[in-house]
């Protein structure tokens, strides 16, 4: 006898499927980001109030030293947020009198906090 469970999420891209992605930590909203870590010029990590950590990977040198603020805007195409595998805009401010800049980064995760330990962090 085989016992198991199954969650019906609806077709990919449907509201039901996106809600399941949010519940399992595969999506987040920009306003949930409450902390960030910069690893190097191309990689940063953001933590959310729900306890998930996501990696932001830019194609160019987006995250340099001196970053004092990092924000991820609300995803304009979805009320469910930004999901793993998608690209999103990232706004950066630096302490050295530089003007803010906008980058595009691909989201991956969620990952465990232990993978980003040892990196300096700033509260948003």
Distance CA(95)–CA(83), nearest Å, equals 29
**In this predicted structure, what is the pLDDT of residue 1?**
41
Distance CA(61)–CA(66), nearest Å, equals 13
**In this predicted structure, what is the pLDDT of residue 124?**
52
Domains of the chain: which residue ranges?
Answer: 33-123
**In this predicted structure, what is the pLDDT of residue 59?**
92
Distance CA(116)–CA(110), nearest Å, equals 12
**In this predicted structure, what is the pLDDT of residue 8?**
42
| Tens-level pLDDT at each residue, the chain (124 residues) | 444 333 445 565 677 777 788 788 898 888 888 889 888 999 999 988 888 899 999 999 888 778 888 888 866 555 668 889 999 999 998 776 667 889 999 999 998 665 565 445 555 5
């Amino acid at each position: 006898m085989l016992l198991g469970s199954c969650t019906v999420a609806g077709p990919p891209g449907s509201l039901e499927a996106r809600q399941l992605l949010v519940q399992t930590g595969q999506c987040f909203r920009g306003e949930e980001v409450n902390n960030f870590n910069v690893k190097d010029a191309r990689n940063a990590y953001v933590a959310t109030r729900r306890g998930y950590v996501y990696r932001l990977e830019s194609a160019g040198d987006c995250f340099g030293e001196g970053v004092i603020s990092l924000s991820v805007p609300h995803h304009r195409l979805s009320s469910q947020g930004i999901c793993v595998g998608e690209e999103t805009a990232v706004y950066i401010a630096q302490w050295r009198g530089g003007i803010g800049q906008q980058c595009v980064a691909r989201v991956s995760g969620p990952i465990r906090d232990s993978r980003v330990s040892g990196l300096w962090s700033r509260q948003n």
